A and B are shown apart, each in its own frame.
Chain A
Amino acid sequence: MIKKLLLLLAFVGVATYLIVGVQTETSNEAFTAPIKIAMSTTPLSSPLIIAQELSLFDKHKVHVELLPVRGGHRSFTMMSNGEVDLATSSESVVMFNSFLRQDFTVLASFVESDNDLKLITLKSASITEAKLLEGKNVGMVESSASEFFIYAYMILTGNKQVKFNRVFMDASELGPALLSGRVDAISIWEPLGYQLNKEYGDQISQFQTRGIYNLSFNLVAQKASLENSMESYVRVLAAIDEAQSYIADNPKRAKSIVSDFLHIPVTELEWGWSDYLFRLSLSNVLLSNLQTQARWAIATGSVVDTKGMPDFRLLIDGRALEQAGGLVTDL
């Protein structure tokens, strides 16, 4: 009778395995070479931070080194200099650089925000409307979202004709420049806007700019590295995808991890958190955004020595995202 019972159990086991087990995919590939990512120290980089802190890169069998840098434009520079494999940059940075070089490619967009950039003035300057910026000094980071944002705002609010002086500087210098009166207004991204607000809230005022501009943060790689590192990039994207699911399911814990990593209080993080849309995608939205900005850049002369409009389709490569199981639409 025991033999019969063992046979039955074996039968049940095999049947269960055939039904359930076959569905489970196994991945036993060896770790690949380390991937260096120059990561902008902004909450927009949260998916990367979470993936790193929860060892999701390890889980997806890819060794990743995160190198924190101030701003996506710097990150892009490091990538193009070959210091790192991947950069996290806004589409504005991509757009500006596309006029200079064609040796990079956008792998995926991993976060969007419709309220990441802020236009801030000193209360004492009494600049209550956009048209009052006429002849004023406006601080911004050259060839970045900061630059495009102020122009987009002026155009959308029908103040295109208002002439102001562009004062380019580093992101970290924008706040002190405004407070010291060197500039009358600044176009600045978070969390710098929040920090300024928190410390000097009584001295500054902020324009209502939500929905004016949609910022996206993208993972950018050198085209040349694509063939050799495609497998690793796929794994990086898969880890980011899992990190984003974690953020959606455990927002509180995710915020705490990011706050610890960036050394900023959770309250500061909360400030812009609801503006973030964490999702891996690569669609015509990005293409549209890049083209819009490029057209503006050409029209306003923000870029010089151009050979005309770049073909952004050549600067976007959806293969890695597709393999990672993310969203790639209309490309």
Chain B
Amino acid sequence: MKVTLRLKILLIVSLMLTSIILLSFVTLKEIQMQTNSELHQVSDIEHKIDLMSSELWLLQQYHDEDALTQTRVAHEELKALLDEELFSQNSKNTIVANLVRMNANIGALLDLSQKDLDSNFRHGITSPAGMLSARYNMTIQSMNEDLGKLERLAIKDSELSQRKILYAVVILLIVGSAVVLILTLLTLKSFSTNLNALTLGIKDLTKGNLNSRIEVKDTDELSVLAQQFNLMKRSLEETTVKKELLQLEVERQTKELQQQREEFQHQANHDSLTKLYSRGAFEEQMQTAIARCGRTNQSAALLFIDLDRFKVINDCHGHAAGDAVLIQIAQKLLKTVRSSDIIARIGGDEFVIWLEPIENATQVITVIHKLTEELAIPIQYQDLNLVIDASIGVSFFPIDAIELSSLLKVADDNMYKAKEIEGTTFQLTSKVTVGLSDAKMA
């Protein structure tokens, strides 16, 4: 039950209780007034009967016309009073009816007294006066008896109604108070339980716990509040989760982009087939290398390698075979030189190697020999044993040139020369050849 509804019921019950108390007072007052009025009526009748009784006594004492007239007056007055008396209860009206009848009997007896006035007045039971006197006395006594009964009835009825009202009020008050008590206890309990739960929920939230929920058992306003609190917590939790997920996604995508960028850079700098430096990357590397050598006064050599009969392999065994050959060649080159040396593929079957530093031409020739030996090993492609020859042109820094383009040109020229001369696999420039035996070129 909702708290406001409970409070409304409490208000209504309280108002009802107040009304009942007021109403009971009013009713009690009315009953008292009615009782008083009935007692007054009884008292009036009593007075008239008393009056008639004393007149009858006078009649019996004086036995004259005057006394009889006075008695008749009293008798008529009582008759008039009894005729108008009306009580609320049947039992009382029955008694009044008896009184009316007895009064009528008095009337009949008065008629007989009238007759007796004319006769000789005598006492004794066998005389009319004696017998009448006995009858009058009996009737008056009987009337007084009924009157007493009427009085007692009036008082008893009033007591009964008062008691009934009192009981009704007591029962209603007890029941009403019980209802008020129960409602108050229920409301109090609901308040304390729900407020405790809400307080705990808020404390939990303050600690940052978004998972916990307040247990909602009822449908009252505080329970609705608790429910709303739970909804707010869920909403908060959802928002937080979304934010974290977004962060993770951003990080994942950034990483992916980074990888892609690195891949693109690698692809841009390297030959996609052999994974060696591309021409562009090689040139870039060379700028740094030449500058470094110039700064440190070191010598270096550039080998220009061109594969012989590569076209034939391509044509005879297909491009796949050519590609396989190129990959194997690149492996061999990498295997042969130092890791600090720069290797690049700058054309279809053209490779360059930058050896740095070198101290003399012999060192270079040793490398060339190692290279030619390695290259002489046939390359296996499927079930084929492919033999590749290479012509190598060499240029030296700074002897042959100090710029890349010049160094490349010298090495290229030397490569062609080596190709032209039968049985030669490599060619140095003449300046270098002269001083081949020199320990130091630079």
Contacts and interface: CB of A to CB of B under 8 A. Distances in A.
Interface of A: 1, 4-5, 8-9, 11-12, 15-16, 19-20, 112, 114, 152, 155-158, 160, 210-212, 214, 245, 248-249, 277, 279, 281, 283-285, 288-289, 291-292, 295-296, 299-300, 327, 329
A155 B128 contact: yes
A19 B167 contact: yes
Contact of B126 (A160, A212, A277, A279): A160
B182 A155 contact: no
B108 A211 contact: yes
Contacts of A157: 112, 115, 128
A285 B126 contact: no
B182 A5 contact: yes
12 contacts: A9-B178, A12-B174, A156-B131, A158-B128, A210-B108, A288-B141, A292-B125, A292-B134, A295-B125, A299-B125, A300-B126, A327-B145
Nearest to B167: A20
B182 A211 contact: no
B115 A158 contact: yes
A8 B178 contact: yes
Contacts of A288: 134, 137-138, 141
Contacts of A8: 178, 181-182
Nearest to A245: B91
A292 B133 CA distance: 10
B174 A16 contact: yes
Given A248-B91, A327-B145, A327-B149, A156 B135 contact: yes
A158 B113 CA distance: 10
A327 B153 CA distance: 12
B149 A156 contact: no
A194 B182 CA distance: 70
Interface in B137-186: 137-139, 141-142, 145, 148-149, 167, 170-171, 174-175, 178, 181-182, 185-186
A5 B178 CA distance: 9
Nearest to A283: B145
Shortest Cβ-Cβ A-B pairs, 10 listed: A211-B105, A211-B108, A292-B134, A295-B125, A155-B131, A285-B141, A299-B126, A285-B142, A288-B138, A296-B125
Contacts of B108: 210-212
Given A12-B175, A156-B128, A295-B125, A248 B142 contact: no
Interface of B: 90-91, 94, 98, 101-102, 104-109, 112, 115-116, 119, 124-128, 130-132, 134-135, 137-139, 141-142, 145, 148-149, 167, 170-171, 174-175, 178, 181-182, 185-186, 189
A20 B166 CA distance: 10
Contacts of B189: 1
Given A214-B135, A327-B149, 10 more contacts: A114-B102, A155-B128, A156-B135, A157-B112, A210-B108, A211-B108, A245-B91, A292-B125, A296-B131, A327-B145
A296 B134 CA distance: 11
A328 B225 CA distance: 76
Nearest to A159: B128
Nearest to B115: A158
A249 B145 contact: no
B258 to A, nearest CB: 66
B298 to A, nearest CB: 98
A160 B127 contact: yes
A178 to B, nearest CB: 25
A299 B123 CA distance: 12
A285 B145 contact: yes
A160 B124 CA distance: 12
Given A114-B105, A160-B127, A295-B125, A329 B148 contact: yes
Contact of B142 (A9, A152, A214): A214
A299 B170 CA distance: 65
A152 B131 contact: yes
Nearest to A294: B125
B174 to A, nearest CB: 5
Contacts of B138: 214, 285, 288-289, 292
Contact of A283 (B109, B134, B141): B141
Contacts of B119: 158
A95 B115 CA distance: 29
A156 B112 contact: yes
B130 to A, nearest CB: 8
B116 A210 contact: no
A211 B134 contact: no
A214 B167 contact: no
A231 B268 CA distance: 134
A223 B171 CA distance: 50
B77 to A, nearest CB: 19
A327 B147 CA distance: 12
B17 to A, nearest CB: 15
Nearest to B141: A285
A313 B28 CA distance: 44
A139 to B, nearest CB: 22
Nearest to B91: A248
A16 B171 contact: yes
A118 to B, nearest CB: 15
Most chain A CB within a 10 A radius of its CB, from B102, B106, B126, B127: B126
B201 to A, nearest CB: 23
Contacts of A155: 125-128, 130-131
Contacts of A291: 134
B126 to A, nearest CB: 5
Contacts of B149: 279, 327
Contacts of A284: 141
A214 B139 contact: yes
Contacts of A212: 108, 135
Contacts of A283: 141-142, 145
Nearest to A160: B126
Contacts of B107: 211
B132 A156 contact: yes
Contacts of A249: 90
A277 to B, nearest CB: 5
Contacts of B148: 327, 329
